[in-house]
Amino acid sequence: MKYALLGDLHSSLSDTKDVLMHITKISPEAKLVGIGDIFECVIGKKRAITERFESLSKVMKNSKAFTSLLTFPSVRGNQEQRILDITITNDKFYYVLKNLPETIDLPHGIIIHGHQWKEKISIPKIFNTEDKILFYGHSHKSGLMERHKQIPYFHNQEIKLQHFQYQVNVGSVVDNREWLLYDDERMTISFMKARKRTHESN
């Protein structure tokens, strides 16, 4: 099966539209899965320490147009987690965010957002099993590592995976319009980048 992995949307309507259009063009049969940070929390880290809110509309960027595009499952990112931590509400959508899992399993792979470890520090072994390819995001920088060693890649180029000990950062939808095509049967990945098009404002 083919999977289109996309993350770090940060509520960007235009960039998300561009990526979804590109996925439909390149691999319409692919199953979409989110890498987290689907939404943008508008409250910064410092304010989040002491402030609490009773409405989701005060803490997150969202619109009906954007939400209508979200037809796929996703893991929970740090933006969703911050929204949950600072909001006290019975809003149904709060529980939608709360029920997002930390990880999603794929054939031969596992998806996690990537905020669970500090950048430039080795990925914990708990997220890097011998028989699972690790797919993540968070840094907004796409990249490919084999046994924790960076290896070069090019967009729109199919890469054959020789084993399961790869760490794959799929990049970000917001600003970069990146996504990743993963074929679990052929054991290949392709880093993809959509062209920027003209849309209404986010």
For the chain, domain boundaries: 2-193
Q: Give how far Cα 69 sits from Cα of 6, 18, 59, 80, 177, Å.
A: 13, 11, 20, 17, 15
CA dist 11 → 108, 110, 115, 119, 128 (Å): 29, 24, 18, 23, 29
Cα 77 to its chain centre, rounded Å, is 8
Tell me which architecture the domain covering 2-193 has in CATH: 4-Layer Sandwich (3.60)
> What type of residue is 52?
R
HEC letters along 82-130: HHHHHECCCCHHHHHHHCCCCEEEECCEEEECCCCCCCCCCCCHHHCCC
Instruction: Say what the pLDDT of residue 199 is.
Output: 62
List the structure tokens of 90.
């019975």
Q: DSSP letter for 19, please.
A: H
* Cα gap 82→60, rounded to integer Å: 10
Coil, strand or helix: which one is 161?
coil
Q: Tell me the pLDDT tens digit for each residue of 79-107.
A: 999 999 999 999 999 999 999 999 999 99
Average pLDDT over every residue of 39-45: 95
Tell me the pLDDT of the chain averaged across its residues.
Answer: 92
pLDDT level of residue 149 (50, 70, 90 thresholds): confident
Q: Which two tokens stand for residue 174?
A: 């917001």
| Confidence class for position 120, pLDDT limits 50, 70, 90 | low
